[in-house]
Amino acid sequence: MKNTNQTKLIILKPFLLIFLSISIVFLFIVSFQSPHRNTIFVPPLKRPLPPYPPGELRIRPGFGSYDMYIQHQLDKTLNQKLREVWTTRDWERKIQVFSRFFTDLKQMNLLYNDSKALCIGARVGQEVVALQRIGVSDSVGIDLVPYPPLVVTGDFHNHPFGNETFDFEFSNVFDHALYPSRFVGEIERTLKPGGICVLHVALSTKSDKYSANDLSGVGPLVELFKDSEVVHVRSVDGFGLDTEVVFRKNKKQKKMKKRH
C-alpha cells in the first residue's frame, strides 16, 4: 500500500507543479489589473514652467546716431566682395536651403501659393527666388540697397508699405535691428489679420559684427509681438541661425494709425 501511494505521488507531482505555476501567473496578472495599479501619486508642480526660454535682448553699444547705425549696415550690404559671393557661389545654395524652409511652412499650412509675401533684409533676394520657385509668385524683398527686380529699397524700421499689405513675412536679420520693438511693430502693421511672420534667429551663438542686438531666448520676441500669437518654435540650421519662431497676427486688431 505504501508503494502504491508513493507511486501516485510521483505521478501527481508534475501536475501539482504545473498547477502551482499557473496559479502564480494568474495571481500576478490579476494584481496588475487591480484598480490600485492606476492610483499612482504624481506630486503637483510647485509653479508652472515657462513655455519659452525667457532669455534676454541686449542692444549693442557704440551707435552714436541712427546715421552711424545705417552706415554700419551699409558697410556690409555694399561690400563688393560679399555681394559677389552672394550672387555667385552662395546664390544657388541659399535658394535651395530657403526653398526647403518655405516648403515645410507650406506643408504646415502657414504659406500658400496665393500668399502675398515679404522678405525683410533680403540683400540680393535669394529668399524671394526661393518663394517664387515653390509657387509663391507674389513675393518681394526689402533692404537698404535695392536689387531689382527682387529687392526694393526699404528700412525695416520703417517699411515702405501700407497697413495690412502682406499675408506672409520672413526675416533672418532680426539681430540687425537697432530698435527691435520698431522692427516688430512694422511687421505687425504691414501683416494682414491672420498673417504669418517667420523669424530665424541665433540663440545659442553670437551674431556677426554687423549685428545691433544679441538675443538669448524666445521670451523677448514673444513680448515684442503685441498683437500676435506663437505658432511654433523649432531648431533650424539657417546660415548661422539656429531657431525658427513663427507668429500669427491676431484676427481682431486694435485700430491702427494710418501711415502718412
Q: What is the pLDDT of residues 107-148, one digit of tens each?
A: 999 999 999 999 999 999 999 999 999 999 999 999 999 999
We report the CATH number of the domain holding residue 101 as: 3.40.50.150
Q: How far is CA 44 from the centre of its chain?
A: 30
Has residue 24 been placed in a domain?
no
Residue tagged 495571481 (cell numbers)? 27
- Note whether 212 and 156 are within 8 A (CB): no
Q: What is the dihedral of CA 127, 132, 134, 135, to 10 degrees?
A: 150
Has residue 61 been placed in a domain?
yes
- Count structural domains, the chain: 1
pLDDT score at 177 = 96
Has residue 18 been placed in a domain?
no
Sheet holding 241-249, edge to edge: 151-153, 139-143, 117-120, 166-171, 191-201, 241-249, 228-238
Lowest mean pLDDT among 24-28, 160-164, 196-200, 209-213: 24-28
Has residue 31 been placed in a domain?
no
Has residue 22 been placed in a domain?
no
Q: How many alpha carbons fall within 13 Å on the CB side of residue 141?
A: 25
Work out the pLDDT band at 37, boundaries 50, 70, 90.
very low
Instruction: Cis check for the bond before 35: say yes or no (omega within 30 of 0).
Output: no
Has residue 109 been placed in a domain?
yes
Average pLDDT, the chain: 83
Strands 139-143 and 241-249 come out as unpaired
Has residue 39 been placed in a domain?
no
Has residue 46 been placed in a domain?
no
d(CA 221, CA 247): 10
Range of the domain at 158: 57-83+92-249
Residue 150 identity (one-letter amino acid): L
Tell me the torsion sign for CA atoms 18, 20, 26, 31.
negative
Q: How much is the pTM?
A: 0.78
